[in-house]
Amino acid sequence: MKKHLVIVESPAKAKTIEKYLGNTYEVMSSFGHIRDLPKKNLSIDVKNNFEPTYQISAEKQKIVNGLKKSTKSAQDVWLASDEDREGEAIAWHLCEALGLDPKKTKRIVFHEITKPAISHAIENPRTIDINLVNAQQARRILDRLVGYELSPVLWKKVRPGLSAGRVQSVAVRLIVEREREINDFKAKDNYKVTANFVASNDEFVSELNAKFDTDENTRRFLKDCIGAKFTVSKIDKKPGTRSSGAPFTTSSLQQEAARRLGYSVKQTMTLAQRLYESGHITYMRTDSTLLSNQALAEAKSYITSKYGAKYHNQRQFKTKQSNAQEAHEAIRPTNFSNQNIAGDEGQNKLYKLIWNRTLASQMSNAELARTEVSIKISSRPELFISKGEIVIFDGFMKVYGRKGEDVILPELTLNQSLKPKQILGRQTFSKPSARYSEASLVRQLEELGIGRPSTYAPTISTIQTRGYVEKKDLEAKEREIKVLSLINEKIEESTEIDNYGADRAKLVPTPLANVTTDFLTKHFAPIVNYDFTAHAEKDLDLIAEGSEKWVDMISKFYSSFHKLVEKSETVSRKESTQTRELGVDPSTKKPVFARYGRYGPMLQRGEVTDEDKPTFASLPENTTLDNVTLEDALEMFKLPRDVGKTDEGELITSNIGRFGPYIKVGKTFVSIKTLDPLTITEKEANKLYKEKKKEIDNKYIKVFKGGIKVVNGPYGPYVTNGKRNVKVSDDKKAESITEKEAKELLLQAPIRKAPHRRKKAKARAKK
DNA sequence: CAGTGAGCGAGCTTCCGCTTGACTT
């Protein structure tokens, strides 16, 4: 008997759906898009109505062949890709590739993988919505035009191999601008005053409702407090509530997993993918906070039976993002009764987070009792305020959120008089905006409507691999703060060391990002504007409604965009590399420039047109192209410098290179991480050189004929012939390996494939 | 993991969004 063929996007989904549909249906998967614009060139005929040329990519050919075969033997075909722009396009591409008539082939959609949803879908087929397909084509073509016309401009004007795009260039811009904001930030200081009172043997803290701008004013306040009377002037008790957050979307899951578990967005997505494939959670790339009716009902029964009806509060959270497509449910457990799952530690932690969050979203608000006590000072108008908070009913906090650390104030009565044990006035500084983490950048992009759940993690990777952004731990800086204290009616002043600015895994822009962003914001402002995507989305909506033609939208965009591309050709290299003349070197009478070079920021002395070639030097540490001075630069031109001689009488020189400061003896380079090449002494240099020599002597455990070596590598000993590397197994002693054994090991070595080739191609490109 | 930076010109690079594995180090 011929079966009905249903095609979905995800193979994991296919398995589940097949179970629900029974054996008269065969469910197959397209593994996402099956056709796309070829990578090697633009593949858009801009002179012929932007006609795109699509191609089935090599890795999808097999899948398409399989689908074709099943199509031929099937009774009919049902296209069940996701209900969004991309899903509609996938359905249309499937028609094109499988030879189906888009006007006749059945198209079905479901937002959730539950039996009722699937039955409902099967009963209500429609045909492909070509307007929605065209909106996707417009999106695709727009992105290709921007990416493939803008990137080559950067190759010419900034550096080969760079990339620019509607999403990534804005992501980089956000990071560049945040860093500049932080650098320009001037911290303001003021004085925060706290008092420790004692009542019925309990000590509690109170904070003054005013801050002082100077230490003098703080001192005056403390002085006024000597001999003053402190009385409770107001006790305000009121109830409060706290409510749970919405179930997870991709973006909120990435943020919470980073905050609570310390995962990178990539780690989170890999773990979630495993959980999805093993059937523990629903789809992990979603922008919706909605739960299926089935999930709502299951949560209800689980919560009522486990915690009692009082804890249940059924709720559906509206998705806030305006561009959300809501093709899927929120990320939730597929079965609430699974509190734990079989899987590694990472999967378990992430699962638990999802389980807790989903359940909490269906639980009651927490109820709190809040108390605010005001304490009057007889000699001053300000008030000391103490706040207490007690959890009366924990509600959702039973499973999610901080376990409400109660702040309990002692029993106080109106007009009660209090004695301060101590009053402190502490200098505090205002803080600049925080640097972006991976997750907070995703949140910002989502807020701007830029990027999709499936691209957040790859975008974060791209901007790092292109060298625009680095993930860094930032060390704390120290500053002195003043502390004024009033104890036993005596005022004392002291200083404390305040460690500030320490931060983990934050995104920091490189000089390349600064140069590129400045270039793009100056010459391609419309593309890197924060609302470019939002405007484009409005047009895409019009196309999807059928009230605008996609070719009109693209053609309108392209005519203005392409003009910018043409105009950018006239931008001088001097401008695009941000060349700045620092002054003239008094000894050579040549001009000194700071600019962005082939390998990063650099200094140049003399012009290219000079008879003798210009000389180059690195930027001194802790300076940038914007703030480096002529004096700084002249110091750098003292390099390379003769440091002295080794014990064997060889010359030692010092310099700064691509990988930082180094000393050089013959052909041996030694990094000097903390020392300054301008001041390093002969003695220091010799010590480092000897250590390096020892390391080199230890590197080769054995050297055989024909270039075969046993090498002490960073991951343990390995055998190499220069082409292939084989790890020496742990049970073997590297020192005892014979030439014969080494040869045998090399024969077993795997041939390095694609990633290796790619690396080589990159290396070639650099040259 | 190697110590540059001009300019010449070969041939290369590049986008965003859907999906999974197969790569290593």
Tell me which residues from 618 to 637 on chain A have a beta carbon below 7 angstroms from nucleic acid strand B: 618
A667 strand B contact, CB < 7 Å: no
Q: What is the CATH number of the domain that holds A526?
A: 1.10.460.10
Q: Are residues A440 and A533 in the same domain?
A: yes
- What is the CA A766 to C1' B12 distance in angstroms? 9
Alpha carbons A53 and A33: distance in angstroms, whole number: 15
Q: Decide: helix, strand or coil at residue A237.
A: strand
Alpha carbons A217 and A694: distance in angstroms, whole number: 63
Alpha carbons A437 and A503: distance in angstroms, whole number: 10
Q: Are residues A293 and A381 in the same domain?
A: no
Q: Are residues A10 and A103 in the same domain?
A: yes
At residue A756, the pLDDT reads 35
pTM given for the model: 0.88
Q: Backbone phi, then psi, for A120, in 5-degree steps?
A: -60, -40
| Distance set, CA A561 to CA A159, A252, A557, A668 (Å) | 21, 34, 6, 51
- CA–C1' nearest nucleotide, residue A609: B6
Alpha carbons A231 and A341: distance in angstroms, whole number: 57
In contact, A449 and A443? CB cutoff 8 Å:
no
Residues of chain A with pLDDT under 50: 752-767
A123 within some domain: yes
A318 strand B contact, CB < 7 Å: no
Q: Are residues A338 and A276 in the same domain?
A: yes
Q: Decide: helix, strand or coil at residue A454.
A: coil
A277 strand B contact, CB < 7 Å: yes
Tell me which residues from 413 to 442 on chain A have a beta carbon below 7 angstroms from nucleic acid strand B: none
Q: Are residues A514 and A552 in the same domain?
A: yes
- CA–C1' nearest nucleotide, residue A150: B14
A492 within some domain: no
At residue A404, the pLDDT reads 64
Q: Are residues A408 and A445 in the same domain?
A: no
A578 strand B contact, CB < 7 Å: no
Q: Decide: helix, strand or coil at residue A595.
A: strand
- Between CA A147 and CA A157, with CA A151 as vertex, the angle to 5 degrees is 155
Longest dimension (CA), chain A: 99
SS3 percent helix, strand, coil of chain A, rounded to 5, is 40, 25, 35
The nucleotides of chain B lying under 7 Å from a protein CB are: 1-7, 10-21, 23-25
Q: Are residues A14 and A103 in the same domain?
A: yes
Active site residue A558: no
* E-only strand ranges, A46-110: 51-52, 55-56, 76-79, 106-107
Question: What amino acid is encoded at A30 in this protein?
Answer: S
- Say which residue the tokens 């065209």 belong to: A134
At residue A753, the pLDDT reads 39
At residue A450, the pLDDT reads 97
What is the SS3 assignment for A276-318?
HHCCCECCCCCCCCCCCHHHHHHHHHHHHHHHCHHHECCCCCC
- What is the CA A607 to C1' B5 distance in angstroms? 13
Length reported for chain A: 767
Alpha carbons A122 and A341: distance in angstroms, whole number: 32
Q: Please name the residues in contact with A374: beta carbons below 8 A apart, sequence gap of 6 or more.
A: A232, A233, A234, A235, A236, A383, A384, A385
A137 within some domain: no
In contact, A211 and A192? CB cutoff 8 Å:
yes
Per DSSP, A7 falls in state E
A520 strand B contact, CB < 7 Å: no
A603 strand B contact, CB < 7 Å: no
- CA–C1' nearest nucleotide, residue A286: B18
Choice among A191, A263, A283, A718 that is catalytic: A283
At residue A102, the pLDDT reads 94
At residue A179, the pLDDT reads 96
| Distance set, CA A449 to CA A89, A170, A349, A670, A734 (Å) | 21, 11, 29, 48, 56
A317 burial type by CB count under 10 A (0-12 exposed, 13-18 middle, 19+ buried): middle
pLDDT tens sequence across A234-279: 999 999 999 999 999 999 999 999 999 999 999 999 999 999 999 9
- Say which residue the tokens 């050189």 belong to: A689
A93 within some domain: yes
Query: How many CA atoms lie within 13 Å of A760's alpha carbon, on the beta-carbon side?
Result: 7
Alpha carbons A249 and A265: distance in angstroms, whole number: 13
Q: Are residues A446 and A359 in the same domain?
A: no
Alpha carbons A134 and A122: distance in angstroms, whole number: 25
A283 strand B contact, CB < 7 Å: yes
A23 within some domain: yes
- What is the CA A155 to C1' B6 distance in angstroms? 17
A32 strand B contact, CB < 7 Å: yes
At residue A276, the pLDDT reads 97
Question: What amino acid is encoded at A360 in this protein?
Answer: A
- What is the CA A565 to C1' B19 distance in angstroms? 33
Q: Please name the residues in contact with A520: beta carbons below 8 A apart, sequence gap of 6 or more.
A: A150, A164, A169, A173, A527, A528
Alpha carbons A271 and A261: distance in angstroms, whole number: 12
Q: Decide: helix, strand or coil at residue A433.
A: coil
A167 strand B contact, CB < 7 Å: yes
In contact, A576 and A586? CB cutoff 8 Å:
no
Q: Are residues A505 and A563 in the same domain?
A: yes
| Distance set, CA A672 to CA A35, A640, A662 (Å) | 52, 14, 5
Joined tokens for residue A533: 């995507």
A606 strand B contact, CB < 7 Å: no
Q: Are residues A54 and A178 in the same domain?
A: no
Structural domain count, chain A: 7
> Measuring CA to CA, which residue among A11, A141, A33 is closest to residue A84?
A33
Last residue of a domain, one of A612, A636, A660: A636
Q: Decide: helix, strand or coil at residue A467.
A: coil
A285 strand B contact, CB < 7 Å: yes
Query: How many CA atoms lie within 13 Å of A754's alpha carbon, on the beta-carbon side?
Result: 0
A453 strand B contact, CB < 7 Å: yes
* E-only strand ranges, A436-515: 469-474, 477-487, 490-500, 503-509
Last residue of a domain, one of A700, A730, A748: A700
- Say which residue the tokens 């899927």 belong to: A328
Q: Are residues A440 and A564 in the same domain?
A: yes
Q: Which residue is nearest to nucleotide B25 (CA to C1')?
A: A715
In contact, A645 and A681? CB cutoff 8 Å:
no
Joined tokens for residue A703: 């050297």
- CA–C1' nearest nucleotide, residue A145: B15
The helix-helix angle for A550-568 and A130-157 (nearest 10°) equals: 0
At residue A617, the pLDDT reads 87
Strands A106-107 and A76-79: parallel
> Measuring CA to CA, which residue among A689, A684, A589 is closest to residue A648?
A689
> Measuring CA to CA, which residue among A710, A544, A612 is closest to residue A134?
A544
Alpha carbons A634 and A617: distance in angstroms, whole number: 9
> Measuring CA to CA, which residue among A302, A413, A308, A405 is closest to residue A358?
A302
At residue A749, the pLDDT reads 63
At residue A380, the pLDDT reads 97
A462 strand B contact, CB < 7 Å: yes
A180 burial type by CB count under 10 A (0-12 exposed, 13-18 middle, 19+ buried): middle
Joined tokens for residue A186: 């001037």
Alpha carbons A750 and A732: distance in angstroms, whole number: 20
Q: Please name the residues in contact with A428: beta carbons below 8 A apart, sequence gap of 6 or more.
A: A189, A190, A191, A192, A211, A481
A157 within some domain: no
Tell me which residues from 45 to 74 on chain A have a beta carbon below 7 angstroms from nucleic acid strand B: none
Q: Which residue is nearest to nucleotide B7 (CA to C1')?
A: A608
Q: What is the CATH number of the domain that holds A347?
A: 1.10.290.10
- What is the CA A766 to C1' B13 distance in angstroms? 10
Alpha carbons A538 and A607: distance in angstroms, whole number: 50
> Measuring CA to CA, which residue among A730, A739, A731 is closest to residue A710?
A739
Q: What is the CATH number of the domain that holds A73?
A: 3.40.50.140
In contact, A7 and A77? CB cutoff 8 Å:
yes
Alpha carbons A363 and A312: distance in angstroms, whole number: 5
Q: Are residues A85 and A59 in the same domain?
A: yes
The helix-helix angle for A85-98 and A58-73 (nearest 10°) equals: 70
The H-or-E segment that residue A695 falls in is helix A682-699
A654 within some domain: yes
* E-only strand ranges, A333-448: 366-377, 380-393, 417-429
Joined tokens for residue A519: 């270039």
Residue A610, domain extent: 578-636
Per DSSP, A103 falls in state T
Q: Decide: helix, strand or coil at residue A470.
A: strand
Tell me which residues from 95 to 154 on chain A have a beta carbon below 7 angstroms from nucleic acid strand B: 139-140, 143-144, 146-148, 151-152
A517 within some domain: yes
Alpha carbons A568 and A582: distance in angstroms, whole number: 26
- What is the CA A466 to C1' B11 distance in angstroms? 20
Q: Which residues lie across from A193 on neighbouring strands?
A: A425
